[in-house]
Amino acid sequence: MSLSKKSKKFYIIFIILIIVVIVFIIFKNKNTDSYPMDTVASVVKTDTKIVDKVAENTNTTKSIASYKIDKYFNVVPTDPNGNKKVVLLTIDDGPSNQSENLMAILAKHNVKAIFFINGMHDKDYKGVIKKEFDAGHAIGSHTWSHQNLNKIKESVALKEIDSNSKLIKEITGSNPIFFRSPFGVSSTFSREYLKKQNMISMNWSGSTKDWEKSARDQKVFINNVIKDLHPGTTILMHEHQWDTDNLDALLTEIEK
Ligand SMILES: [Zn+2]
């Protein structure tokens, strides 16, 4: 049974609501308008179709705020006077032996994230995706086995996407809303197929650059994020040991 348009919209609103504004981090002493959009664009790598899904969120205690993900993969309030002091944290390539450690650090900071998972890891880390979901994090799809969608046949790409959605639905009860292409590389087929599935293709607008060896150093890891940080940054990180080692300090720095 497919969800009605209204309930689908509500679901998207609800999910982003939970992620975004609970993830919100206040830039206490900054003028948040001091980052022009072209600065934002310069740090974006994207070949995916522009998404502009509207979503709402609440900080759970006060007002309801409405957010959308703009074409630069930043989270922005739909109300021009809305709170721009938010970031979106996304963690790719799990589940892994780091997932639970990462979750503990997120809990310490009262931060929710999107975990973009690869279904192939589920057999090695049974129950971890469910724990992430139960802790209030969103489960996004990163395909089943992390292949470059631009280098595989359409039939294989279809399977990569569908198998992962099926697993996520089994665990969470719903199809994933968020999708991130492995290596940030999509194809015409994947873009069109994801659109038909009502999934949101996500890239990022800020990054720990944790794939670079230099980012294992905490100062570099943090600076990679902070130097490009702007209101609404969608931050990319993975489940490496050094992400776990540096996440607590990174969140503390962003909170400042
Ligand atoms: Zn990945």
CATH at residue 171? 3.20.20.370
103, part of any domain:
yes
Q: Please indicate whether residue 245 is annotated as part of the active site.
A: no
CA of 58 to the centre of ligand 1 (A): 29
pLDDT digits 0-9 by tens, 13-67: 767 766 665 555 434 333 332 222 322 332 332 322 222 233 333 333 344 567 8
114 in a domain, yes or no? yes
**Domain contains 193:** yes
Question: Among 92, 122, 210, 243, which one carries the catalytic annotation?
Answer: 92
Residue 47 belongs to some domain of the structure:
no
12 lies in some domain? no
> Is there a contact between 103 and 135 (Cβ–Cβ < 8 Å)?
yes
Q: Which residue range(s) make up the domain with 207?
A: 85-255
- Closest C-alpha to 238, from 74, 72, 84, 115: 115
Number of independent structural domains in the chain: 1
| 90 in Cβ contact with 114 (< 8 Å) | yes
- The residues pairing with 10 across neighbouring beta strands, listed in sequence order, are none
Active site residue 92: yes
Whether 44 is covered by a domain: the verdict is no
Residue 69 in any domain: the answer is no
pLDDT in tens, 152-194: 999 999 999 999 999 999 999 999 999 999 999 999 999 999 9
Q: Does residue 68 fall inside a structural domain? A: no
